[in-house]
Chains A and B, each alone.
Chain A
Amino acid sequence: MPETRVGPGEKVRLGTIEGDLEVSQGARIEVDGRLVVPGTAHFEGSSSVEGSLECRSLRVEDGTVQIRGDLTVQETVRADDGGLEVTGAFRAGRVDVDKRLRIGGPAAAEEFEVGGVFEGGSTLTSPKVSVGGKLRLSGKLTGRELEAGGSVEVAEVDLETLEVGGLVRLAGGEVRRSVEVGGRFAADGPFKFGNLDVGGVVQLRGPATGGRVSVGGMMMAEKDLTFEALKIGGMGTVQGNGAGRTIEVGGKFDVRGSLKLTELLEVGGAVAIGEELTGQRLSVGGSLTARRAVLSGEAEIGGSIATQEGAKAERFRLRHRSKATGPLVGNSVEIESKGRVEDIYGGRVELGRKSVARRIFANVVRLEEGCEVEEVEYVESLDLGRNVRCRQPPRKVDHLPPFPI
C-alpha cells in the first residue's frame, strides 16, 4: 500500500492521499479542505493537523496530536503513551488513549478507554466509556456504561450503569440500573436511578427518584426523595418529603417534610420527621421524633419516641425503660417495666412494673406493681397491681373520649 511520509518538524499541505500516512515528531500538516487517509494515520511524537482528518485507523505514539477540525475514524484510535486533542466533532470505532483525550465538539464511538483525563466540550455518545482518571464533559453523556477511577463531572447523563471511585457531579439525568460511587456523588438537578450505592457522601440538589439507596457516610437531599429501600449507615437529611418502602438508619436521619413508607422504618440511631410519618411497621432502638406518626401495624420502641400530635399504631410495644412523649393511640399498648409515657388511648393498655404515665383512656387497663398514673378512664376492666399510685381515682366510663389521632 502506498504511504505518505511527513518528516520531523516538516510543514506540508495535504488533501486526499492514497494509502497510509506516517507523521514524525513536530510536523504540522495544513489541510486542503479535509485530509483523507484511506489507511492508517500514524503519528510518532507530537504534531498537528490544521483541519479535519478522516482515516481508517489512527495511531499515536509518545506524544500528543492536535487535530484542529473534525476527526472521523472508521475503525480504531489508539494512543500509546500519548494523547489526542480534537477541536471539532469526533467519530470513531474503538478508542484507546493512554494519557489525555480532549474533544471540543460532539463525540461518538463504540467504546472509549482513556487512561488519564478525558475532557469533552460537547455531547458524548458511546455504549461504554472507561476512564482511569477524570472525565469532564460539558454536554450530555448518552450510553450504557461509564466507569472512572477518579472523578466524573458531566452536564447530564442517560446511562445504564455508572461506577466511579472518587467524585461524581452531574447536572442531572437518569442511570437506569446502578450507580456505584466510592467517594462523593452529587446531582445538581432532577435525577432518576435504579440503585444508588455510595460509600461516602450523596448530595441530591433536585428531586430524586430511584430504587435501593445505600449510603455509608452521609446523604443530603435538598428536595423530595422517592426510593424503594433506603439504608444509611451514617447521617442523612431530606429537606423535602421522603417516600419509599423501607428505611434502615444506623446513624442519624432527618426529614424536614413528611415521610411515607409502605413497610418498615427501622431506627438504630436517631430519626427526626418534621411533619407526618406514615408506614406499616416501626422499630426504634434509638430515638424518633415527628409531628405525628401513623402506623398500620406494630410499633416497637426500645429507645424513645416523641411526637407533637401523637403516634398511632395497631399495636405499641415499649421496651424496658423506653420513653414516649406525646399521646400514643393503639388497639393494644404495652409498656414494659420502668417505661415513661404521657397520654395513652387504646383498646387494651398494660403498664409494666414501675412505669409512669400521665393519663390512660382504654377499654381494658392493667397496671403492674409500682406504676404511677395521674388519671385513668376505662370502659370494661381495670386491674391494679400492688403499690400502684393514681393521683385521681380511676373512673369507669361508658364511652372513651375521642382519640387525638
Chain B
Amino acid sequence: MWDDRPHAARGPRRREVTDLYATVLEVVKRYHGAARITRVSYGAGMPVDRLRTFLDRLVALGLLRSEELDGRPAYDITPRGQEFLDTYWRMRAFVEVLERPAEPSRSPPGGSRGPHRRGGPDRYDPP
C-alpha cells in the first residue's frame, strides 16, 4: 500500500503488522458498511483465515464493527478506526521525513540592507 521508493537504495520497507491493520481498515472503509470477508481478503491481498484473526482483533479494539447483512457478517469502520488511520498516515509521513538524510539548511536572511545603513555589523548587538 505504501510507496517505499524514496529509500530505494536501502530496499523497500518491510510491511509490519501495523501496516497490515491499516490496509485492512482502508479496504473495509471502501465498502461503506457492506464489507464481506472475501472481498476484504481480495482487496487486502490476505488469505481469509489470516484475515479473520485481524478482523476479530480490530472489532475487539473498537476500530471496526460487524453487523449481520443478509445473514452474513459485514464490516464497517468506526470513528475510532478512522482516527487510527488518520494518525497512522500522519505518523508514516513524519517517519519518512525523519528517515531521510537531512538537507543542508538554507542560510537565513542576513541583517537589514536598508538605504540608511551606516556601517557596523550586519546584525544588531544591543548596547
The answer to whether A200 touches B43 (Cβ under 8 A) is no
- Given A217-B94, A306-B108, A401-B115, answer yes or no on A186-B3 (Cβ-Cβ < 8 Å): yes
Contact residues in B for A165 (Cβ distance below 8 Å) = 1, 23, 25-27, 29-30, 85
Contact residues in A for B114 (Cβ distance below 8 Å) = 309-310, 327, 343, 404
A245 part of interface (Cβ distance < 8 Å)? no
Name the interface residues of A284-318: CB closer than 8 Å to any CB of B: 289-291, 306-310
- What 1/0 flags go to B1-27 for Cβ under 8 Å of A? 111000000000000000000110111
A372 part of interface (Cβ distance < 8 Å)? yes
The answer to whether B42 touches A133 (Cβ under 8 A) is yes
**Bound CA span A199–B42, Å:** 24
**Bound CA span A275–B85, Å:** 37
The answer to whether B26 touches A356 (Cβ under 8 A) is no
Number of interface residues of B (CB under 8 A): 42
The answer to whether B109 touches A199 (Cβ under 8 A) is no
- What 1/0 flags go to A134-161 for Cβ under 8 Å of B? 0000000000000111110000000000
The answer to whether B2 touches A167 (Cβ under 8 A) is yes
The answer to whether B116 touches A116 (Cβ under 8 A) is no
Contact residues in B for A147 (Cβ distance below 8 Å) = 30
B55 part of interface (Cβ distance < 8 Å)? no
B93 part of interface (Cβ distance < 8 Å)? yes
Name the interface residues of A242-297: CB closer than 8 Å to any CB of B: 272, 274, 289-291
Min CB distance B104 to A, Å, is: 13
Residue of A nearest to B43 (CB): A132
B126 part of interface (Cβ distance < 8 Å)? yes
- Residue in A150, A326, A356, A391 whose CB lies within 8 Å of B109: A326
- What 1/0 flags go to B27-64 for Cβ under 8 Å of A? 11111000000111011110000000000000000000
The answer to whether A272 touches B30 (Cβ under 8 A) is no
The answer to whether A216 touches B90 (Cβ under 8 A) is yes
A358 part of interface (Cβ distance < 8 Å)? yes
**Bound CA span A200–B111, Å:** 37
**Bound CA span A166–B22, Å:** 9
A128 part of interface (Cβ distance < 8 Å)? no
- Given A306-B109, A325-B123, A343-B114, answer yes or no on A166-B40 (Cβ-Cβ < 8 Å): no
The answer to whether A404 touches B40 (Cβ under 8 A) is no
Residue of A nearest to B123 (CB): A325
Number of interface residues of A (CB under 8 A): 59
Q: Is the interface of B mostly helix, strand, loop or mixed?
A: helix
A55 part of interface (Cβ distance < 8 Å)? no
The answer to whether B112 touches A115 (Cβ under 8 A) is no
- Given A167-B1, A216-B86, A374-B127, answer yes or no on A308-B113 (Cβ-Cβ < 8 Å): yes
Min CB distance A38 to B, Å, is: 31
Contact residues in B for A372 (Cβ distance below 8 Å) = 126-127
Contact residues in A for B42 (Cβ distance below 8 Å) = 98-99, 115-116, 132-133
Residue of B nearest to A292 (CB): B109
Min CB distance B86 to A, Å, is: 6
Contact residues in A for B106 (Cβ distance below 8 Å) = 272, 274
- Given A183-B1, A216-B90, A289-B109, answer yes or no on A201-B96 (Cβ-Cβ < 8 Å): yes
Name the interface residues of A2-54: CB closer than 8 Å to any CB of B: none
A212 part of interface (Cβ distance < 8 Å)? no
Name the interface residues of A323-371: CB closer than 8 Å to any CB of B: 325-327, 340, 342-343, 356, 358-359, 361
The answer to whether A401 touches B1 (Cβ under 8 A) is no
B71 part of interface (Cβ distance < 8 Å)? no
B102 part of interface (Cβ distance < 8 Å)? no
B110 part of interface (Cβ distance < 8 Å)? yes
The answer to whether A218 touches B1 (Cβ under 8 A) is no
**Bound CA span A111–B62, Å:** 33
CB pairs A–B below 8 angstroms (8 shown): A165-B30, A183-B1, A201-B93, A218-B93, A218-B94, A235-B97, A391-B127, A404-B112
8 more contacts with CB within 8 A, not counting A132-B42, A150-B43, are A115-B43, A165-B27, A165-B29, A169-B3, A186-B3, A200-B92, A309-B112, A372-B126
- 4 closest Cβ pairs, A-B complex: A217-B93, A132-B43, A165-B26, A199-B89
